[in-house]
Structure 1
Amino acid sequence: MRLFGFKGPNGYEGVGALTKGSSDTYIDLSATDPQIPNHLQDMIISKEMMDRAAKAISNPNAVTGKMSGITFKVPIERPGKIVCMGLNYADHAKEGGNARPEYPSFFMRGPSSMTAHLSPIVRPKVSDKLDYEAELAFIVGKKARNLTLDNALDCVAGYSIFNDGSIRDYQRKTTQWTIGKNFDQTGAFGPWLVTPDELPVGCHGLNIQSRLNGQVMQNANTKDFLWGIAETIVLITECMTLEPGDVVITGTPAGVGYARTPPVFMKPGDICEIEIESIGILRNTIADE
């Protein structure tokens, strides 16, 4: 299933599902089955609701709508934690002047730093060094602690796309990256959540690409992860409990703007697209604060 939260006319909110074979029609799950919550975060934590969603998708009388009539929301609006991973591709670590790390870099994002598919990424007043980072995201559906490689993927509710927009000068003001990664509306997230049954195990072997105004900036494959999804979950859950609705961002490959000569940063009017094979395209314009 490919599930997303949306806003419709007159303040209506619901959960939608892409219809197979159509790029402009969706199924309104919340209207088709009134028992289904109108927030995706509330739905993924319940196996019963996920089963209801699957039945609603196959319902010949399902309520449908046009994609042009809705506004996307970020897939998970109130994550308890957004755990981000850095230096998970050797080529990106190298372009940043780092040796192949023995352990990944972890940092956190807050919910106010996110923005949705087709909504603007906001360049703040205090900096013009807004960089793009194409990343695979996964969403936690079950409480998870001290998992193993054998059971780690059982906690994943689905996968999505993240543009880990970074304010590079602020990122380097401190030894920690947090401040440069948490400006309001800099991290784009979406467009939807794809359930694991529609993807390779652990999303292994998927092409990942960023494009700025149509020009390819990053082009890699998730097979190049230093730590795959299962390994990442093992590392995180030996330290903390992952809870339903938590989001994990898995790092970016080489080709980011600050490492180019000359550097390339996103500016108002630009269009940035992040595409991950078999998941979709996350598209955002850039706007000034």
Structure 2
Amino acid sequence: MTSPRLATYSVDGAIHYGAVTDKGIVDLSARFAGEYPTLREVIAADALMQLVEDTAGRAADHALDAVTLLPPIPAPEKIICIGVNYPDRNAEYKDGQDAPKYPSMFMRTPRSFVGHGTPLVRPRASQQLDYEGELVIVIGKGGRHIVEKDALDHIAALTLCNEGTIRDWVRHAKFNVTQGKNFDSTGSLGPWIVPYTNEAQIADIRLTTRVNGELRQDDRTSRLIFDFRYLINYISTFTTLMPGDVIVTGTPTGAGARFDPPRYLKPGDVIEVEAEGVGLLRNGVVDETL
């Protein structure tokens, strides 16, 4: 049985949200926008399953290929990205160090992401655009100092990320990666969110990334160095998590920079990030034209 899927999309110049079914998209914003302007407000009201239930028996309003899918959560307060969170990824650094004691992390801006089906943009400033397939948790119930035993109760939904990175720009400064992680339209989020239901749903998800059909990344969430409970606890120690916040949980080994020679993305490439029970996020690549 297909998991419920909720998406943000544009059609005829307007932004909507709705449920993705086998027959297309049921426009839920037409019925709920007065109460919930976007999916972020739906999440804040703990109303995702209300929308799923409302979808039952309704005909699709749009064909899926007739709309443009957007990042599912519009203007999240925070997009927090976790680095080096799979064992083999840590080994890629070849620095002889054990797994880190605490997670590496950085922030990204909403403008650095596009939705499913929209090409990533290789910027004029660099040809070192790389891919990083990742599973994403979306925060539902906010909070500060969230204890690990309660942490999963704060997850609203799951989605996917291609956490596109400009490799030479992450090395511009002595100890930050912000520049190389925030070029406009270099990453993607989506294609939709899948409501979180229970721990078994996230315990052992297979996550893969393919470039032009070639398998490049392949790992499972059961192998995370810092699991979802820990991440929510750790992050909420220093910042208040808010409904709709996005936590990008780390990428497996196999990014293009780790090949010899590196295999960076170029116009015409197609990247597919896929996770069991969540979906498939697909994007092409174009050069910046501005």
Residue pair 1:15, 1:29 contacting (<8 A) in 2 also: yes
Aligned equivalent of 1:122:
121
Residue pair 2:49, 2:195 contacting (<8 A) in 1 also: no
Q: Tell me, yes or no, if structure 1 residue 17 matches structure 2 residue 19.
A: yes
Q: Tell me, yes or no, if structure 1 residue 86 matches structure 2 residue 83.
A: yes
Q: How big is the shift at 1:202?
A: 6.3
**Distance in 1 separating the partners of 2:61 and 2:35:** 15
Q: 1:202 to 1:226 in 2, by over 3 A?
A: farther
**Distance in 2 separating the partners of 1:220 and 1:55:** 33
**Distance in 2 separating the partners of 1:182 and 1:107:** 10
Q: 1:63 to 1:255 in 2, by over 3 A?
A: closer
TM-score (norm 1): 0.93
- Structure 1 residues not aligned, in runs of 5+: none
Match of 1:76 among 70, 73, 78: 73
- Structure 2 residues not aligned, in runs of 5+: none
* SS state at 2:281 partner: strand
Q: After superposition, where does 1:96-245 map in structure 2 within 5 Å?
A: 96-98=93-95, 99=97, 100-174=99-173, 175-197=175-197, 200-201=199-200, 203-245=202-244
**Distance in 2 separating the partners of 1:34 and 1:62:** 19
Q: Tell me, yes or no, if structure 1 residue 4 matches structure 2 residue 2.
A: no
* SS state at 1:65 partner: coil
* SS state at 1:209 partner: strand
Q: Which moved more, 1:121-130 or 1:199-208?
A: 199-208
**Distance in 2 separating the partners of 1:121 and 1:67:** 20
Q: 1:129 to 1:170 in 2, by over 3 A?
A: same
1:15 maps to amino acid: Y
CA deviation vs aligned residue, 1:20-55 (integer Å, no higher than 9, x gap):
xx2x422211235564535222221113x4354133
**Distance in 2 separating the partners of 1:275 and 1:61:** 28
Corresponding pairs, count: 282
Residue pair 1:114, 1:186 contacting (<8 A) in 2 also: yes
Aligned equivalent of 2:54:
56
**Distance in 2 separating the partners of 1:237 and 1:135:** 21
Residue pair 1:80, 1:245 contacting (<8 A) in 2 also: yes
**Distance in 1 separating the partners of 2:276 and 2:187:** 20
Residue pair 1:153, 1:202 contacting (<8 A) in 2 also: no
* SS state at 1:83 partner: strand
- Give identity over the alignment, percent: 37
* SS state at 2:26 partner: strand
* SS state at 2:74 partner: coil
**Distance in 2 separating the partners of 1:33 and 1:111:** 24
Q: After superposition, where does 1:258-277 map in structure 2 within 5 Å?
A: 258-277=257-276
